Amino acid sequence: MNPLDNIRVVLVGTLYTGNVGSSCRAMANMGIRHLRLAAPNLQNGWDEGERLAVHATDVLGSREEFATLEEAVADCVAVVGTTAREGLYRQHVKAPRDCAADILTLAATGPVALVFGREDKGLLNEEVAQCTHLVRIPVDEGYTSINLAQAVLITCYELFTASGRYQPPHEKAPPAPQAQKAQLMKNWSRMLQEIGFMKPEQADHFMQGFHRVFSRGVFTKDDAALMLGVARQAIWAKEHGQAGVSG
Amino acid sequence: MNPLDNIRVVLVGTLYTGNVGSSCRAMANMGIRHLRLAAPNLQNGWDEGERLAVHATDVLGSREEFATLEEAVADCVAVVGTTAREGLYRQHVKAPRDCAADILTLAATGPVALVFGREDKGLLNEEVAQCTHLVRIPVDEGYTSINLAQAVLITCYELFTASGRYQPPHEKAPPAPQAQKAQLMKNWSRMLQEIGFMKPEQADHFMQGFHRVFSRGVFTKDDAALMLGVARQAIWAKEHGQAGVSG
């Protein structure tokens, strides 16, 4: 099973439907689709919430509502609270990245709640006391107040990236093998002499420079093929005394 | 110097001031404060943008505006584009976490642009072609469309966490040393026999169970002191035949 299917995002005492909607979109981006509202205290209508959920209105529409946090997390094997503050009951707080693997391990065994407090005052001490795990999102000391949906996004992002459900993109072309790079150096050396860029006795010196330029970072087979084409064309153009497309 | 001070968030052709304001708040949360707008195409007034910037109105107010992306990144030593798509000019795309350290190394030498495209169609091919680096934010295949300010947040978050400007929270109390845990087992064994929970011949068996319970995860000095207090008080209560506060 996919442990992300066992994650329950629980918003406690939320004031604005826009934050609920934006949270739904953030959840869906990160492959998490179960939303619970505990003791919602909504000050505006659902128009704003639905507009900001964009194409995640199914997440919004299938939300569950509970009168208290206690009821919202009753079936959960772990309750992960998010807190911006230090203090009472918050001694064992960790960064989300540092406990993502543990949370996923627990989510493989049953429902796990990710709990987010009110926009204005977060979680109350009696709510923090119900959490088995606490996380604090890394933020700059100069501006620690993070938007509710942004906090949902980062917490879900850390679980998603830790879940292995996502393959980081990588360069399609493989790195150029050393033989292809040697061929490139040889062909460029010939070309640069033929077009009069350098004399034979200068070749060693200049080719060190080109070797350096072509050795910054990964140099792929495609990169090498492109630069070999330049050498071929420059020699052809010099021999034919004009620009054109080589055979 | 702090390489985050050299980061320039460049929003290209942005449509909604709300996304600009939310981006400012996300940037400030992650210690990044320089915003540039390239070819802005704003469809609404700044009221919404200022409201969503919340306490990051200084980031919004000090923004720079440019007619084109080319002008907005002219002074930058690296141009990091964000793209949700595969295809032309996007062969060398990486996940933000996989290139955060490289970006910070470049930012230690001069301004580095983080470029974000339009809400509806992202970056155009001719804009992608100006980027020296490309990143794609990890998202679930089921819902790949990420909000602009959310994309800004995750990219800035990866740079902030990689910058070392943030110390992850850690348990204040140190782990309990083995001698304290041995004392705990000894005192609990005595207490559990005195209150009649187990007979002496059962002690080895039951104490294995308590040892297991107290060995899940980190067990701190404070945890051990708390549980030692329980044993002390239970023995006191049994000897005095009543509940009360021990000496």
Q: Which residues from B are below 8 Å from A when comparing CB atoms?
A: 22, 25-26, 28-31, 54-56, 91-95, 97-98, 136, 138-140, 142-147, 149-150, 153-154, 157, 160-161, 165-166, 168-173, 222
Q: Check B94 against A30: CB less than 8 A apart.
A: no
Closest partner CB to A56 (pick from B55, B92, B143): B143
Residue A214 pLDDT more than 90? no
| Beta-carbon-side half-sphere exposure of residue A67 (alpha carbons within 13 Å) | 0
Band of the pLDDT at B219, cuts 50, 70, 90?
confident
Separation between Cα atoms, residue B70 and residue B72, nearest integer Å? 6
Q: Which residues of B210-221 are buried (b: 16+ CB within 10 A; e: fewer)?
A: eeeebeeeebbe
Q: Which amino acid is at B186?
A: K
As a whole number, mean pLDDT of residues A215-244 equals 84
pTM over 0.90, yes/no: no
Q: Check B138 against A168: CB less than 8 A apart.
A: yes
Helix (H, G, I), strand (E, B) or coil at A203: helix
- Residue B109 has a pLDDT of 94
- Residue B245 has a pLDDT of 55
Model pLDDT for residues B166-203, shown as the tens digit of each residue: 888 877 788 899 899 999 999 999 999 999 999 999 99
Among candidates A25, A1, A6, A168, which has minimal Cα distance to A103? A6
Residue positions counted in chain A: 247
- Residue A72 has a pLDDT of 97
Please state, rounded to an integer, the average pLDDT across all residues of chain B: 92
- Residue B171 has a pLDDT of 77
Reading the block at residue B63, the tokens are 């923004």
What is the least distance, in Å, from the CA of B31 to any CA of chain A? Answer: 5
Which of A32, A92, A97, A137 to probe the B interface (max B CBs under 10 A)?
Answer: A92
- Strands B7-12 and B112-116, by their bridges, are parallel
Closest partner CB to A171 (pick from B92, B161, B166): B92
Model pLDDT for residues A12-50, shown as the tens digit of each residue: 999 999 999 999 999 999 999 999 999 999 999 999 999
Residue A247 pLDDT more than 60? no
Query: Contact at 8 Å (CB) between B137 and B97?
Result: no
Band of the pLDDT at B244, cuts 50, 70, 90?
low
State percent of chain A over pLDDT 90. Answer: 76
Model pLDDT for residues A175-209, shown as the tens digit of each residue: 899 899 999 999 999 999 999 999 999 999 999 99
Separation between Cα atoms, residue B28 and residue B63, nearest integer Å? 13
- Look at A43 and B244; give whichever has higher pLDDT: A43
Among candidates A160, A156, A136, which has minimal Cα distance to A81? A136
Residue positions counted in chain B: 247
Q: Which CATH superfamily is domain B3-162 in?
A: SPOUT methyltransferase, trefoil knot domain (3.40.1280.10)
Query: Contact at 8 Å (CB) between A154 and B152?
Result: no
Band of the pLDDT at B247, cuts 50, 70, 90?
very low
Please state, rounded to an integer, the average pLDDT across all residues of chain A: 92
Which is it for the CA torsion B186, B192, B198, B200, positive or negative? positive
Separation between Cα atoms, residue A237 and residue A240, nearest integer Å? 5
Residue B92 pLDDT more than 90? no
Complex-level ipTM: 0.86
- Residue B243 has a pLDDT of 55
Query: Contact at 8 Å (CB) between B82 and B155?
Result: yes
State percent of chain A over pLDDT 70. Answer: 98
Separation between Cα atoms, residue A78 and residue A93, nearest integer Å? 14
- Residue A206 has a pLDDT of 92
Model pLDDT for residues B9-54, shown as the tens digit of each residue: 999 999 999 999 999 999 999 999 999 999 999 999 999 999 999 9
Residue B240 pLDDT more than 50? yes
Residue A79 pLDDT more than 60? yes
CA B229 to chain centre: 37
Band of the pLDDT at A242, cuts 50, 70, 90?
low
| Beta-carbon-side half-sphere exposure of residue A239 (alpha carbons within 13 Å) | 11
As a whole number, mean pLDDT of residues B128-151 equals 94
- Residue A215 has a pLDDT of 84
Contacts of A36 (CB under 8 A, 6+ apart): A8, A9, A10, A11, A63, A64, A65, A66, A72, A113
- Residue B90 has a pLDDT of 78
Reading the block at residue A132, the tokens are 């088995």
Residue A244 pLDDT more than 60? no
- Look at B163 and A213; give whichever has higher pLDDT: B163
Reading the block at residue A104, the tokens are 């996923």
Model pLDDT for residues A12-21, shown as the tens digit of each residue: 999 999 999 9
